[in-house]
Amino acid sequence: MDVNNIAGESKSFGSMPVAPAIVRQDKQKVAVTPVASSTGAEGSALDKKALSREGKLSQEQAVKYVQEVQARFDKMGTNLQFSIDNSSEDVVVRITDKKSGELIRQFPSEEILQLRNKLNDLVGMLFDGKA
């Protein structure tokens, strides 16, 4: 099949322009430099034990880490608020409107937090203690 012949035949189909041939050029990937590790107090405050799921954190440690995460997000100017629910001890993330402060979304929702509390109470009544 002759490409030049096809291009010549396509000219005879009216005033439609013939698309130029596309030449593929292999592009080299841009080198990405890794982010330097932080040696300051801000970067090392979250230790590896807190970030892994190896051990359970105490309430004081969890509050400390949530406050540190909140401080970092506050520096970035986000509308995220991190806190710990007192009854379930779960981390709660709230997304609020920057201008009005109105709650847009919450994870986990209030309904889920209430459901967890009721289920924990039910387990306590059924088994005479929490499992």
Q: Give per-residue pLDDT as tens, 69-81.
A: 999 998 988 889 9
Beta strands in the chain (DSSP E): 80-84, 91-96, 103-107
Q: Give per-residue pLDDT as tens, 52-104.
A: 556 677 888 889 999 999 999 989 888 899 999 888 788 899 999 988 989 99
Q: What is the pTM of this model?
A: 0.51
In whole angstroms, give the CA distance from residue 18 to residue 68.
Answer: 62
The pLDDT assigned to 93 comes to: 93
More reliable by pLDDT, 17 or 123: 123
- Domains of the chain, residue spans: 58-131
